[in-house]
């Protein structure tokens, strides 16, 4: 008994020490994770300055930054950024919302699964980008086509993970909740949805990554605004620096979306030992 007390005291003591050591270390890890991109940019700048890289192929980082600065000042950057973000958000909302809804439906009701799942699995195997010719025929080349493409791509990761999440909720917990008088919506709200949430959020992260990929393609087909349009336009005028601004913007936006998804997980799954 006494040894176990001592052991547990030791364990909590070392846990505390470990916790303390982690806190100042956290900032360092944050810095470290940015070390590689920064070093790459420095090396790139030096290479451009020394003339190893032709500015036709790859302009120096400073030129890219000044191009970004100019675009930002003229307001052009913000228009394109706004248009692209709006497309990503609306496509994500439509596709993700539908995926969530159908996933919940097929996950909860077996009849719905029998009715829908086979068809959905078949459609899933068609690459969204293979639909482009058809999409252009159907919707023309305006916003609807882009919205459709992004939605289709986002739909499946969220649908599949929602379905899987609902199905893998601990049966024991459901049985317990039923025997405690929960049924219908309270059972769904208190047990099934939170149980499926970790899986749904995995789907959200996948989908957020896919949004940008699809958007790039959708915006390069034909558009009057958006980051993809800006990049394609710049290519025609051989403005490599602007092309690079566009590419870097996609990287930044992708990272931003990931940070968003992570913080959602951190908040919603704060009960989960893996997120504490």
Partner 1 sequence: MRHNNPVENQQVEQAAQAEQCPGVGIVVNAVSKAYGEREVLKTVALDVKPGEFVAIVGRSGCGKSTLLRLIAKLEQASAGEIAFSQGAQTGYAPETRIMFQDSRLLPWKRVLHNVALGLPKSDLPLAAQALRQVGLSERANDWPAVLSGGQRQRVALARALVHEPELLLLDEPLGALDALTRIEMQELIESLWQKNGFTAVLVTHDVQEAIALADRVVLIEDGRITLDQRIELARPRTRGNPEFARLEESILARVLQHPARAPDAPLGDISLHKSVSQVQWAV
Does 264 participate in binding partner 1 (rule CB under 8 A)? no
For residue 22, the tally of other CB atoms under 10 A from its CB is 10
Sign of the torsion formed by the C-alpha atoms of 198, 200, 206 and 207: negative
What is the closest distance, in whole angstroms, from the C-beta atom of residue 10 to partner 1 in the complex?
17
- Part of the chain binding partner 1 (CB under 8 A), chosen from 35-43, 64-72, 103-111, 266-274: 266-274
Which of 18, 172, 184, 224 touches partner 1 (CB under 8 A)? 172
CB 41 within 8 A of CB 63: no
Q: Which is nearer to partner 1, 19 or 172 (CB)?
A: 172
Query: With CB under 8 A as the contact rule, which of the stretches 87-95, 114-122, 155-163, 190-198 interacts with partner 1?
Result: 190-198
**Closer to partner 1 by Cβ: residue 142 or 175:** 175
Q: Does 182 bind partner 1 (CB under 8 A)?
A: yes
196 part of the interface to partner 1, by CB under 8 A: no
DSSP string, 126-173: S-GGGGHHHHHHHHTTSHHHHHHHHHHHHHHHHHHHHHHHHHTS-HHH
User: 58, 105, 150, 197: which one contacts partner 1 (CB under 8 A)?
Assistant: 197
Q: How far is the CB of 239 from partner 1 (least distance, A)?
A: 51
8-state DSSP, 273 = G
Q: Indicate left, alpha or beta for 51 from its phi (over 0: left) and psi (-120 to 50: alpha).
A: left
Report residue 205: phi and psi, to 5°: -65, -45
Q: Determine, following the binding rule CB under 8 A, whether residue 179 of this chain makes contact with partner 1.
A: yes
Phi, psi of 155 (to 5 degrees): -55, -50
Angstrom distance (rounded) from CA 134 to CA 156: 19
201 touches partner 1 by CB under 8 A: no
| Residue list 68-127, contact with partner 1 (CB under 8 A) | none
Residues that bind partner 1 (CB under 8 A): 1, 172-173, 175-177, 179-182, 186, 190-191, 194-195, 197, 270-273, 276
């Amino acid at each position: 008994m006494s040894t176990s007390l001592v052991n547990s005291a030791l364990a909590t003591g070392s846990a505390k020490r470990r916790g303390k050591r982690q806190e100042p270390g956290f900032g360092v890890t944050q810095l470290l994770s940015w070390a590689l991109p920064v070093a790459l940019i420095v090396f790139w700048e030096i290479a451009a300055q020394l003339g190893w890289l032709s500015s036709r192929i790859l302009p120096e980082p400073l030129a890219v930054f000044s191009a970004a600065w100019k675009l930002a000042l003229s307001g052009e950057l913000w228009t394109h950024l706004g248009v692209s973000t709006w497309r990503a958000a609306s496509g994500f909302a439509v596709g993700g919302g539908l995926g969530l809804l159908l996933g919940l439906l097929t996950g909860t009701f077996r009849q719905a699964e029998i009715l829908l799942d086979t068809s959905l699995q078949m459609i899933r195997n068609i690459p969204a980008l293979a639909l482009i010719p058809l999409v252009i025929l159907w919707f023309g080349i305006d916003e609807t086509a882009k919205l459709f493409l992004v939605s289709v791509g986002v739909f499946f990761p969220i649908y599949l993970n929602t379905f899987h999440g609902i199905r893998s909720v601990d049966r024991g917990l459901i049985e317990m909740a039923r025997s405690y008088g929960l049924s219908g919506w309270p059972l769904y709200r208190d047990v099934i949805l939170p149980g499926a949430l970790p899986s749904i959020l995995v789907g959200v992260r996948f989908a957020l990554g896919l949004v940008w990929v699809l958007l790039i393609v959708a915006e390069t087909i034909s558009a009057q605004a958006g980051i993809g349009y800006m990049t394609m336009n710049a290519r025609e005028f051989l403005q490599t620096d602007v092309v690079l601004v566009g590419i870097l913007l996609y990287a930044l936006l992708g990272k931003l979306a990931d940070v968003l998804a992570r913080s959602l997980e951190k908040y919603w799954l704060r009960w989960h030992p893996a997120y504490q």
